[in-house]
C-alpha cells in the first residue's frame, strides 16, 4: 500500500493580512494503492455489511444497524460513528450523486448537528483504477469551509483507509 496526500498552501489574502484559502486549498486529496483486485475495493466501499470493518478512525466504530443506504443515484444514506471511549455519537448523511461501478462513487457528506440540522456539506469522490498488482484509489473531499476542517477530516479518512487496507488484506 502506498499513499500520496496533496493540499496546496494557503496564500495571503487581498489585504495581505493573513492566509485566504483558495478553492483548491479547501480540497482534501488522498491516493492509496491496495494490492487487491479493483472489485474487492469497490465492494468494500459500497457494501454496508463491510463498512463496520473500516469506517471511522481508530477509537471509533460504525455499527451495521446504524447504516441506512439506498445505493443508487439520488439515493440517501445515513450512518453513525461512535467514539469508543465516550460513547459519543457522530451522525452523518448525504445523497449518492454518481455511481459508475466499479470505478466511480460520488456522494455528498455532512455531519448532522445535535439539533437535527445538517452541517457544512462537501462532496466525496472515490475513483478506482486497476494498476499492475492491484488498485489505485483516489479520494477527494471538499471544498471545505476551513483549512482546519479539511485537515481534521484528512486525519480521520487516512486512519479509515488504514483500516480499509487491513480489511482488504488477504486472510491466511
Q: What is the residue-level pLDDT of the chain in tens, covering all 172 positions?
A: 444 444 433 333 434 444 555 667 999 999 999 999 999 999 999 999 999 999 999 999 999 999 999 999 999 999 999 999 999 999 999 999 999 999 999 999 999 998 989 999 999 999 999 999 999 999 999 999 999 999 999 999 999 999 999 999 987 6
Taking the C-alpha atoms of residue 89 and residue 109, their distance in angstroms, rounded to an integer, is 16
Give backbone dihedrals phi and psi of 6, rounded to 5 degrees, phi first: -125, 145
Q: How far is CA 22 from CA 75, 92, 128, 155, in A?
A: 31, 26, 27, 21
Residue partners of 10: CB distance under 8 A and separation at least 6: 19, 20, 21, 22, 25, 147
Q: Which three cell numbers stand for residue 154?
A: 484528512
Amino acid at each position: 500500500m502506498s499513499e500520496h496526500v496533496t493540499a496546496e498552501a494557503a496564500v495571503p489574502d487581498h489585504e495581505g493580512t493573513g492566509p485566504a484559502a483558495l478553492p483548491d486549498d479547501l480540497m482534501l486529496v488522498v491516493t492509496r494503492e491496495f494490492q487487491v483486485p479493483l472489485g474487492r475495493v469497490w465492494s468494500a466501499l459500497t457494501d454496508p455489511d463491510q463498512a463496520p470493518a473500516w469506517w471511522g478512525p481508530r477509537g471509533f466504530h460504525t455499527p451495521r444497524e446504524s447504516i441506512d443506504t439506498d445505493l443508487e443515484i439520488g439515493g440517501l444514506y445515513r450512518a453513525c460513528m461512535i467514539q469508543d471511549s465516550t460513547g459519543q455519537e457522530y451522525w452523518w448523511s448525504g445523497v449518492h450523486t454518481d455511481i459508475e461501478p466499479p470505478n466511480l462513487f460520488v456522494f455528498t457528506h455532512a455531519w448532522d448537528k445535535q439539533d437535527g440540522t445538517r452541517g457544512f456539506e462537501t462532496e466525496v469522490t472515490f475513483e478506482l483504477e486497476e494498476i499492475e498488482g492491484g488498485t489505485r484509489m483516489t479520494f477527494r473531499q471538499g471544498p471545505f469551509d476551513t483549512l482546519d476542517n479539511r485537515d481534521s477530516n484528512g486525519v480521520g479518512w487516512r486512519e479509515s483507509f488504514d483500516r480499509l487496507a487491513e480489511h482488504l488484506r488477504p486472510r491466511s
